[in-house]
Amino acid sequence: MEPERCIACGLCAVYAPTIFDYDEEGIVLFAQDPSAHQQFIQKNQKEQVLSAYKKCPTRAILLEN
């Protein structure tokens, strides 16, 4: 993810609440590891993350295979 692109819209945690969370300013971070900029996604979380990725208005969420 690229938190510097995040506009704190709050959508990603609606679609993937176990993956995304926010700092006190509403900027995205990983729920499990707030200081990380990358995270390995389990198979059973892929759909959620894909939805969040598609909905993010600023492309702050990036996917890599």
Taking the complex as a whole, the smallest distance from the CB of residue 24 to ligand SF4 amounts, in Å, to 14
Taking the complex as a whole, the smallest distance from the CB of residue 9 to ligand SF4 amounts, in Å, to 3
For the segment 15-44, give every residue that binds ligand SF4 (CB under 6 A): 28
Q: Which residues pair with 30 in a beta bridge?
A: 20
Q: Cβ neighbours of residue 5 under 8 Å, at least 6 residues apart?
A: 58, 59, 60
> How far is Cα 4 from Cα 46, in angstroms, rounded to an integer?
23
- Specify the stretch interacting with ligand SF4 by CB under 6 A; choose among 4-12, 34-42, 43-51: 4-12
Q: Is 6 near ligand SF4 (CB under 6 A)? A: yes
Q: Cβ neighbours of residue 42 under 8 Å, at least 6 residues apart?
A: none
List of residues contacting ligand SF4 (CB under 6 A)? 6-12, 28, 55-58, 60-61
